[in-house]
Amino acid sequence: MYTKEDCLFCKIVRGEVPCTKVYEDEDVLAFLDISQTTVGHTLIIPKEHFDNFLFVPKDLLGKVFSVAQKVSQALVAGLRAKGVNILVNTNEIAGQTIMHFHVHVIPRYSTEDAIKIDFIPREIGKLNLPKIANDISFNLKK
């Protein structure tokens, strides 16, 4: 069974696994992703364990994204990135491999960067957009 004891990012928070730290405060840690998809690729995590985006309390979520913005600004100012992608994979189907919520900040330098996120449009005529929107809004938590 998966526990916080086994969680790689909890181990990084506890200092049991090394990381290359970019930023730290009471609640949030930012460190370089080991894969460096582009130079400066950074992960932002809450120190407290939550499996993924769906479970993070909103105040903490705000703190994590605020650090993601700070790091993005530093990537632009310091590493001369021309832009960034902010990516949150949620659950295995969406590519989440580490089950401790994290935000990827991926600096972009050129159109040749290894990462490319394409939105491939569907034939919108075949979809009932008002029904889809209603199914979402009806389930929004107060």
Partner that binds at residue 49, options Zn ion, ligand 5GP, none, CB closer than 5 to 8 Å by kind: Zn ion
Site string for ligand 5GP, 2-21 (x = CB under 6 A): ------x----------x--
Binding to ligand 5GP by CB under 6 A, coded x per residue (else -) over 24-53, reads: -------xxxxx------------------
C-alpha to C-alpha distance for 9 and 28, rounded to whole angstroms: 12
How far apart CA 77 and CA 91 sit, in angstroms, is: 32
Out of 61, 76, 86, 98, the only residue in the binding site for ligand 5GP (CB under 6 A) is 98
Dihedral, CA of residue 76, residue 80, residue 85 and residue 89, to nearest 10: -90
User: What are the backbone dihedrals phi and psi of residue 42, each rounded to the nearest 5 degrees, phi first?
Assistant: -125, 145
Q: How far is CA 90 from the centre of its chain?
A: 9
* Binding of ligand 5GP by 97 (CB under 6 A): yes
Catalytic residue at 102?
Answer: yes
Is 86 a residue that touches ligand 5GP (CB under 6 A)? no
Q: CA 35, 4, 44, 102 torsion: positive or negative?
A: positive
Residue 35, CA distances (Å) to 66, 107, 115 in order: 23, 13, 12
- Report the partner that residue 98 touches, choosing among ligand 5GP, Zn ion, none (CB closer than 5 to 8 A by kind): ligand 5GP
Footprint (CB under 6 A) of ligand 5GP, residues 53-72: none
- Residues engaged in binding ligand 5GP (CB under 6 A): 8, 19, 31-35, 89, 95-98
